[in-house]
Structure 1
Amino acid sequence: MKVSELSGGLLELWVAICEGERIAPAHPEPNPNTGRYWLQIGKGYSVKECPPFASSWCAGGPIIERDQIFLQPPSEVHYNGGPNHGWQRYDHWRATVSARTRTLPAKGALDRIIGHGGVGRGAGETPLIAAMRAKVASHYGDEVPDEVPA
């Protein structure tokens, strides 16, 4: 699945995985009331609901600060030279994980990233969604695996 298409509970699950969390094997489906997935606590059977990284500044804000994620609002930008010179309009928020803090991509993702303009970029309707997509892209590149890691 493309990182640019991740949203809601699935986006938040992938952020949690990037943060070192694991999905609870006994609860592979999201909570029907909130749409958030269940995470395993330790090695036992205790579970907790995935934090709302993409919808709450209390959950996503510390990641933005720690990973030095740059946020850019919808805007128009002028580029000089090159094949795309002139004004470019962005109707969405954009985010980039700082090269100082981003992690190495998952095994096999590096080849997909080289030649695609770098690592850790995201876009979205809100700054939190853009930042969390950038966070996931900094670990996995443009696409996450089809199966959530256990």
Structure 2
Amino acid sequence: MKVADLSGAVLDFWVAKAEGHELVTDPATIARAAVGNGRAVLFRNNAGTLCIACAGGREWSPSTDPRQSHPIIERERIQLEPFPDVEWLAFERFDGRGEPPHDSPCRQYGPTALIAAMRARVASKYGEEVPDDIETPPITMDCLMR
């Protein structure tokens, strides 16, 4: 699957993988993470929604939630530029001029700034394509743990 085509939960899944979050199905591991005992982990709820379990757990959606994506954008120094015909261009800085080569997989476009930026993050870690097989079984837990 081309990174340039990723969107929604599939894009969010690959951002989580690029960020080093582990996708788990064990309810005990998820419960420990939800109360702040252990590393944040990803899981799918019964509806198939990708969620993150951490203290104050929340739905994981960096492609639409700036509270989750802005720390990534700042840490990875992802640059964003609006383009009238393709909407947004995002790329990671890695040379003295602040621009990647024109053929770099890290140069990604998207209909929103966050989608473009998260595609750039995934491409910087995995290249232009990611595997299609990301299916995991749903587990019995609510997505938002309070």
* 2:124 paired with 1:129: no
Task: Check conservation: 1:30, 1:36, Cα contact below 8 A.
Answer: yes
* 2:138 paired with 1:143: no
Q: For 2:25 and 2:107, how far apart are their aligned partners in 1?
A: 30
- Structure 1: segments with no counterpart, 5+ residues: 42-47, 76-89, 101-114
Residue 25 of structure 1 and its aligned partner are, at CA, apart by 3.3
Letter in 2 for 1:96: F
Corresponding residue to 2:61 among 52, 56, 59:
52
3-state SS, counterpart of residue 55 of structure 1: coil
Q: TM-score of the superposition, structure 2-length normalised?
A: 0.65
Aligned position for 1:91: 86
Indicate the RMSD between aligned Cα atoms, in angstroms: 3.0
Percentage of pairs with the same residue: 39
Residue 137 of structure 1 and its aligned partner are, at CA, apart by 0.5
- Structure 2: segments with no counterpart, 5+ residues: 28-42, 96-100, 137-146
Q: For 1:64 and 1:148, how far apart are their aligned partners in 2?
A: 24
Task: Check conservation: 1:137, 1:143, Cα contact below 8 A.
Answer: yes
1:41-120 → structure 2 map (5 Å cutoff): 51-75=60-84, 90-99=85-94, 117-120=103-106
Q: How many residues align?
A: 115
Deviations 1:90-124 (A, max 9, x none): 33211001216xxxxxxxxxxxxxx9812412111
Aligned position for 1:19: 19
Q: TM-score of the superposition, structure 1-length normalised?
A: 0.64
3-state SS, counterpart of residue 93 of structure 1: strand
3-state SS, counterpart of residue 62 of structure 2: coil
Q: Which has the higher contact order (CA 8 A, sep 6+)?
A: 2
Letter in 1 for 2:113: P
Query: For the structure 1 residues 58 and 31, does the alpha-carbon distance in structure 2 shift closer, same or farther, using more than 3 Å as the test?
Result: farther
Task: Check conservation: 1:53, 1:59, Cα contact below 8 A.
Answer: yes
Q: For 1:19 and 1:50, how far apart are their aligned partners in 2?
A: 16
